[in-house]
Amino acid sequence: MPSAEIIFETVTAYQRSAAIKAAVELDVFTAIGEGNATADQIAKRCGTAQRGARILCDYLTLSGFLIKTDDKYSLTQESAVFLNRNSPAYLGSVTDFLLSPTVTGGFENLTEAVRNGGTPDTQGGTVAPENPIWIKFAQAMANLMRPTAAAIAQLIDPEADRELKILDIAAGHGAFGIAFLSRNPKARVAAVDWPAVLEVAEENARAAGVADRHSKIPGSAFDVDFGTGYDVVLVTNFLHHFDIPTNEKLLKNIRASLAEGGRAVTLEFVPNEDRVSPANAAGFSLTMLAGTPSGDAYTYSEIEKMFSAAGFSRSEHLQIPPSFQSLIVSYK
Q: What is the distance between the alpha carbons of residues 330 and 312, in angstroms, rounded to a whole number?
A: 7
In terms of Cα–Cα distance, which of 51, 34, 32, 52 is closest to 42? 32
- Which architecture does CATH list for 5-92? Orthogonal Bundle (1.10)
Per-domain residue ranges of the chain: 5-92, 110-331
Name the pLDDT band for 10 (thresholds 50, 70, 90).
very high
Annotation: CATH topology of 110-331:
Rossmann fold (3.40.50)
Q: What is the pLDDT of residue 323?
A: 85
Sequence-ordered list of residues with C-beta below 8 angstroms from that of 82, at least 6 positions apart, any chain: 89, 90, 91, 92
Q: What is the pLDDT of residue 63?
A: 97
Name the pLDDT band for 167 (thresholds 50, 70, 90).
very high
Please, what is the end-to-end C-alpha distance for the chain in angstroms? Answer: 57
Per-residue pLDDT reduced to its tens digit, 263-276: 999 999 999 999 99
Residue range 157-169: mean pLDDT, rounded: 97
In terms of Cα–Cα distance, which of 37, 93, 25 is closest to 66? 37
Three-state DSSP at 237 gives coil
Residue range 57-82: mean pLDDT, rounded: 98
Q: Is the dihedral of CA 4, 5, 6, 11 positive or negative?
A: positive
Q: What is the pLDDT of residue 322?
A: 75
Name the pLDDT band for 27 (thresholds 50, 70, 90).
very high
Sequence-ordered list of residues with C-beta below 8 angstroms from that of 297, at least 6 positions apart, any chain: 240, 268, 269, 270, 271, 281, 282, 283, 284, 285, 288
